[in-house]
């Protein structure tokens, strides 16, 4: 049904790698792309985007790199989706700026809205820490 896009995959790879390093240690896009076998340009773009949105701190220079500024146990998959992809909408009719040509005759708008809402609730219920490292067991 709904696939995880590559940009989200690369951002999750970067966040997982960075969160496993010693606090204060910087990570470069090159390091993540080489370790995860992801394309450098795409990996660098998502890391830059996360830095622009305040998820990562960026340090320039020969020994520069990125560092996570967010507590991954306090941010959700929905938060990351919104940063990387924008609002999560499963159907064309859910996009405010993209009118659907069959909306006036569509008989499933309400069920699609419910499904979209439940998916967003599910994404909101997953902290990135739990997603990347497994939910803690009680």
Q: Would you list the domain boundaries of the chain?
A: 87-126
Q: 56-59 and 65-68: which strand pairing? A: antiparallel
pLDDT tens readout for residues 77-111: 999 999 999 888 877 777 667 777 887 788 888 89
Determine contact, residues 11/48, Cβ cutoff 8 Å. Answer: no
- In the numeric block, the tokens 């998820």 are attached to 55
Is 70 exceeded by the pLDDT of residue 12? yes
Q: How confident is the model at residue 131 (pLDDT cuts 50, 70, 90)?
A: very high
Half-sphere exposure of 117 (CA within 13 A, CB side): 6
Mean pLDDT over the full length of the chain: 90
Q: What's the pTM value of the predicted model, to 2 decimals?
A: 0.86
Strand positions, DSSP E, the chain: 56-59, 65-68
Range 109-130 average pLDDT: 92
pLDDT of 40 over the 70 cut: yes
């Amino acid at each position: 049904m709904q696939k995880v896009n590559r940009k989200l995959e690369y951002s999750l790879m970067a966040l997982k790698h960075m969160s496993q390093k010693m606090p204060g240690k910087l990570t470069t896009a090159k390091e993540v792309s080489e370790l995860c076998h992801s394309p450098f340009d795409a990996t660098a773009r998502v890391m830059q985007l996360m830095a622009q949105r305040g998820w990562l701190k960026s340090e320039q220079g020969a020994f520069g790199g990125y560092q996570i500024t967010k507590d991954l146990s306090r941010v959700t998959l929905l938060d990351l989706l919104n940063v990387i992809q924008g609002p999560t909408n499963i159907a064309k009719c859910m996009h405010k700026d993209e009118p659907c040509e069959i909306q006036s005759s569509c008989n499933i708008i309400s069920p699609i809205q419910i499904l979209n809402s439940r998916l967003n609730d599910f994404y909101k219920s997953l902290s990135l820490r739990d997603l990347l490292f497994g939910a803690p067991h009680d």
